């Protein structure tokens, strides 16, 4: 054991070594972040502090949505037979409500892959359908699939589009209404407790316990960091999950209420970051709430807002690091509306980084073939230019070059197919869209100071870590 009370070696590193550390760690840096300067670390609860078995949880949401659609919206009983496939959608997709399509877009919001229902749309059809490749994501026709718990929503929407078209004998609303109905059904499932009640009765099926996270939090606290929870879940559900996943592993604390300086439930993020809701104080014994118009003190609250939180605790915004998993609710609005630092948990990254590693040799081969192709393409360009300049054309050489280039292109496309098999079979990588970043990756890059597959990746590093952003090369600097 070292003086931190853990079996991990104490991290006493020079700045240079720290850079090496961050490069090897699973915390990825967009903007330089000095943990030494961070006094408060805020945690979102669902899918950040408390991890879910995502496949099981999405399956449950899918089932609940189907039931709600039948009961409340009069959808035909046959939708009960739709089976959930977790891999049918990925985070970051965009639903085209009007056309019944799912789209994957890149950082410039250009469409890079599309499905009508669950059927892939070929490139030519896609071009015809969308004319311009670029779409305006602020348009009401588009709906972002931006949380891990909207995978089920995207999948069910796609399945209902299929069903509407294959079963013309049944009555379904238009695609836009289907999208709205599915979203309503999911919201209601969360709001009215249907989903939470099932989770409560089957905690083991849905909730992951992680002892290392609890120990990491205790270590951080020992180093003087104050930890708080900021969640949109209500007090009772929060208590249920924290009792289950935190309490059993505490070593230096009696229960989670001692570990967390403040717990803010039903926070209504992202409004919490820009609104002016009042804080209500919650009595942890009874769950009863009372008005609280004083300076915040340690305890459990409901509602509130970031401005009061920051000033009551005598903090500068950049002394708070907030960790969340929802790009819009946790990260984007926070960055736009208040100056807390941000860390984003992206659980799919764990698998994606493994696949990236496997894809390494394939990518290398692809690059080599591209390089091999370049002189032939240049020669062809030259011959074609001369044809116009001088009216002369070496036809046999032109044919030869075209054949070589086509051959290499064939080899490249085989390798690209092999590479795609390492990722989601329908949609490929989460963070990339061909050569470009995916739109999701672009948002992460823009709004999250650092990002990682899970909270534990941050907590296993020293609370004094200096995360240095890599120097980014602009195209003209790469020459
Ligand atoms: Mg969350």
CA 241 to centroid of ligand 1, rounded, Å: 13
Give ∠ CA 292-308-450 in degrees, rounded to 5. Answer: 130
Find the 242 Cα to ligand 1 centroid distance in Å: 14
**Per-residue pLDDT tens for 181-234?**
999 999 999 999 999 999 999 999 999 999 999 999 999 999 999 999 999 999
Ligand 1 midpoint to CA 230 (Å): 10
Ligand 1 centroid, distance to 328 Cα (angstroms): 11
3-state SS class at 50: strand
CA of 240 from ligand 1 middle (Å) equals 16
To 5 degrees, how large is the angle CA 433–CA 435–CA 439? 35
Spacing, Cα 275 to ligand 1 middle (Å): 19
Q: How many helices (H) and strands (E) does the chain have?
A: 17, 21
**267 C-alpha vs ligand 1 centroid, how far in Å?**
12
Q: Which pLDDT score is estimated for 22? A: 44
Distance 183 CA to ligand 1 centre (A): 17
| Angle separating helix axes 395-420 and 349-390, nearest 10 degrees | 170
Count the residues in the chain.
479
Q: Tell me how far the alpha carbon of residue 323 lies from the centroid of ligand 1, in angstroms.
A: 9
Task: State the angle between helix axes of 175-191 and 194-201 in degrees (0 to 180), rounded to the nearest 10.
Answer: 50
Distance in Å, CA 327 to ligand 1 centroid? 9
Span from the CA of 401 to the centroid of ligand 1 (angstroms)? 54
**From CA 91, how far away is CA 325, in angstroms rounded?**
11
Is residue 393 classed as helix, strand or coil in its secondary structure? coil
Question: Beta 299-303 vs 289-291: how paired, if at all?
Answer: unpaired
State the distance from the centre of ligand 1 to the C-alpha of 460, rounded, in angstroms: 21
Q: How far is the CA of 353 from the centre of ligand 1 (A)?
A: 22
Dist CA 153 CA 46 (whole Å): 18
Distance 389 CA to ligand 1 centre (A): 63
Residues near 181 by Cβ (< 8 Å), separated by ≥ 6?
69, 73, 75, 173
pLDDT at residue 334, as a whole number: 75
**Cβ proximity of 475 and 59 under 8 Å:** no
Per-residue pLDDT of the chain (479 residues; tens, 9 = 90+): 333 333 333 334 444 444 444 446 899 999 999 999 999 999 999 999 999 999 999 999 999 999 999 999 999 999 999 999 999 999 999 999 999 999 999 999 999 999 999 999 999 999 999 987 788 888 999 998 877 668 999 999 999 999 999 999 999 999 999 999 999 999 999 999 999 999 999 999 999 999 999 999 999 999 999 999 999 999 999 999 999 999 999 999 999 999 999 999 999 999 999 999 999 999 999 999 999 989 999 999 999 999 999 999 999 999 999 999 988 778 877 777 788 999 999 999 999 999 999 999 999 999 999 999 999 999 999 888 888 887 777 788 899 999 999 999 999 999 988 998 999 999 999 999 878 899 999 999 999 999 999 999 999 999 999 999 988 888 898 87
- Enumerate the domain spans of the chain: 54-203, 358-429
DSSP per residue over 456-471, as a string?
A: HHHHTS-TT-EEPPPP
The pLDDT of residue 15 is: 45
CATH tag, 358-429: 1.20.58
Q: How far apart are the C-alpha atoms of 11 and 59, rounded to whole Å?
A: 42
Structure tokens that stand for 470 in this block: 């890599």
User: Can you give the three-state secondary structure of 243-264, one letter per residue?
Assistant: HHHCHHHCCCCCCHHHHCCEEE
CA of 392 to the centre of ligand 1 (A): 66
Distance CA 115, CA 335 (A): 32
CA dist., res. 277 & res. 288, Å (int): 18
Side-chain half-sphere of 13: how many Cα atoms within 13 Å?
18
Span from the CA of 228 to the centroid of ligand 1 (angstroms): 14
Phi, psi of 363 (to 5 degrees): -60, -40
The pLDDT, as a whole number, for residue 14 is: 44
Identify the helix (H) or strand (E) that includes residue 183.
Answer: helix 175-191
- Ligand 1 centroid to 184 CA: how many Å? 19
- CA–CA distance, 246 with 51 (Å, rounded to integer): 11
Residue whose structure tokens are 């945690």: 43
Cα(46)–Cα(245) distance, integer angstroms: 12
Rounded Cα distance, 299 and 353, in Å: 39
Query: Residue 93 forms beta bridges with which residues?
Result: 145
Alpha-carbon distances of 380 from 44, 400, 401, 409, rounded to whole Å:
57, 10, 7, 15
DSSP-derived secondary structure letter, 8: S
Ligand 1 centroid to Cα of residue 51, in Å, is 9
> What is the distance between the alpha carbons of residues 255 and 56, in angstroms, rounded to a whole number?
28
Cα 334 to ligand 1 centre (Å): 14
pLDDT value of position 3:
32
Tell how far the Cα of 412 is from the centroid of ligand 1, in angstroms: 40
Overall pTM surpassing 0.95 (yes/no): no
Q: How far is the CA of 435 from the centre of ligand 1 (A)?
A: 30
**Residue 438 C-alpha to ligand 1 middle, in angstroms?**
21
325 CA to middle of ligand 1, Å? 5
pLDDT at 167: 94
Assigned token pair, 287 = 């769950």
For ligand 1, the distance from its centroid to the CA atom of residue 165, given in whole angstroms, is 35
How many angstroms does the Cα of residue 3 sit away from the middle of ligand 1? 33
């Amino acid at each position: 054991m070292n003086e931190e009370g853990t079996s991990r070696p104490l991290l006493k590193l020079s700045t240079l070594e720290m850079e090496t550390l961050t490069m090897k760690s699973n915390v990825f840096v967009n903007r330089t972040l000095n943990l030494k300067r961070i006094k408060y670390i805020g945690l979102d609860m669902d899918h950040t502090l408390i991890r879910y078995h995502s496949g099981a949880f999405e399956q449950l949401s899918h089932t609940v949505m189907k039931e709600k659609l039948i009961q409340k919206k009069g959808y035909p009983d046959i939708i009960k037979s739709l089976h959930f496939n977790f891999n049918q959608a990925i985070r970051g997709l965009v639903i085209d409500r009007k056309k019944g399509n799912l789209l994957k877009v890149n950082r410039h919001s250009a469409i890079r892959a599309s499905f009508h229902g669950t059927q892939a749309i070929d490139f030519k059809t896609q071009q015809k359908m969308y004319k311009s490749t670029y779409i305006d994501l602020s348009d009401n026709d588009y709906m972002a699939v931006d949380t891990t718990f909207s995978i089920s929503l995207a999948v069910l929407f796609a399945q209902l589009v299929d069903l509407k078209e294959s079963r013309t004998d049944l009555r379904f609303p238009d695609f836009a209404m289907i999208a709205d109905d599915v979203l309503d059904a999911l919201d209601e499932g969360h709001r009215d407790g249907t989903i939470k009640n099932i989770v409560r009765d089957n905690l083991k099926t849905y909730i992951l316990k992680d002892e290392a996270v609890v120990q990491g939090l205790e270590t951080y606290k020992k180093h003087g960091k104050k930890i708080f929870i900021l969640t949109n879940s209500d007090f009772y559900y929060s208590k249920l999950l924290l009792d289950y996943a935190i309490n059993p592993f505490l070593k230096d604390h009696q229960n989670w209420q001692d570990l967390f300086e403040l717990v803010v439930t039903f926070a209504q993020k992202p409004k919490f970051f820009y609104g002016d809701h009042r804080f209500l104080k919650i009595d942890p014994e009874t769950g009863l709430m009372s008005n609280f118009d004083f300076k915040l003190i340690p305890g459990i609250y409901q509602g509130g807002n970031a401005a009061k939180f920051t000033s009551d605790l005598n903090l500068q915004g950049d002394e708070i690091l907030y960790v969340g998993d929802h790009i819009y609710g946790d990260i984007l609005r926070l960055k736009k509306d208040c100056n807390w630092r941000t860390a984003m948990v992206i659980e799919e990254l764990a698998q994606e980084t493994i696949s990236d590693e496997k894809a390494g040799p394939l990518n290398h081969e692809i690059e080599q073939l591209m390089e091999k192709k370049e002189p032939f393409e240049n020669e062809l360009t030259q011959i074609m230019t001369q044809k116009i300049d001088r009216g002369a054309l070496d036809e046999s050489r032109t044919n030869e070059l075209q054949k070589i280039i086509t051959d290499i292109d064939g080899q490249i496309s085989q390798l690209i197919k092999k590479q795609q098999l390492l990722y989601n079979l329908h949609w490929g990588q989460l963070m990339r869209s061909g050569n470009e970043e995916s739109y999701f990756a672009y948002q992460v890059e823009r709004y999250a100071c650092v990002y990682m597959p899970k909270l534990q990746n941050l907590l296993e590093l020293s609370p004094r870590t200096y995360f240095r952003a890599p120097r980014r090369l602009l195209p003209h600097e790469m020459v």
